[in-house]
Amino acid sequence: MRTLLLDRDGVINQDSRDYIRSASHWRALPGALEAMARAHRAGFRIIVISNQSGLARGLFGVRDLNAIHCRLSEELAHFGGRIEAFFFCPHGPQDDCDCRKPRAGLLLALRERLGLDLTRTPFIGDRLSDAQAALAVGARPILVRSGIEPLKPDAVAASGVQEVYDDLAAAIAALV
């Protein structure tokens, strides 16, 4: 079975500079859930990989994060999709941890726990930090322009990322 790695905020759901703090604030981006279900039906197992510094900042707790992930999973199930696992970094940028993207710690933990070969595994994100983490483990970085931070074409070109799409639906259409 092929694996598809997805960042969450700005890829699957609307992002917010104030953080997604509860399930009631979580909103899927247009077409994202349908695209994820299409990937699932095409034989991809889906794993979400995200930085969640709002935990370190005390803006929400693990229960809130789990509720957000439950809502995402439940809404995706309505379209026939499924997420196999959620991996997240609970640290803030100042914590200098190995699991916060652009570092590869989350991906290395994923590889170890699930026994995955990440080589050429697609990792779709909305920030260069997602692409840098993917490149660090030999995964296939794909960027989408649906995040709140605009992607700068010169920075994307310098990163070596070859694939950039408007949103998750377009990226998955190219994969499937």
Catalytic residue status for 9: yes
Q: Measured between alpha carbons, how far is 64 from 87 in angstroms, rounded to an integer?
A: 15
Choosing from 9, 15, 126, 167, the catalytic residue is 9
CA nearest 87: which of 148, 147, 6, 172?
A: 6
Query: CB count, 10 Å around CB of 136?
Result: 17
**Alpha carbon separation from 24 to 46, 94, 146 (Å, rounded):** 23, 28, 21
Cβ(4)–Cβ(124) under 8 Å? yes
Identity of residue 127:
R
Catalytic residue among 7, 126, 130, 167: 7
If you count them, how many residues does the chain have? 176
Task: Just list the catalytic residues.
Answer: 7, 9
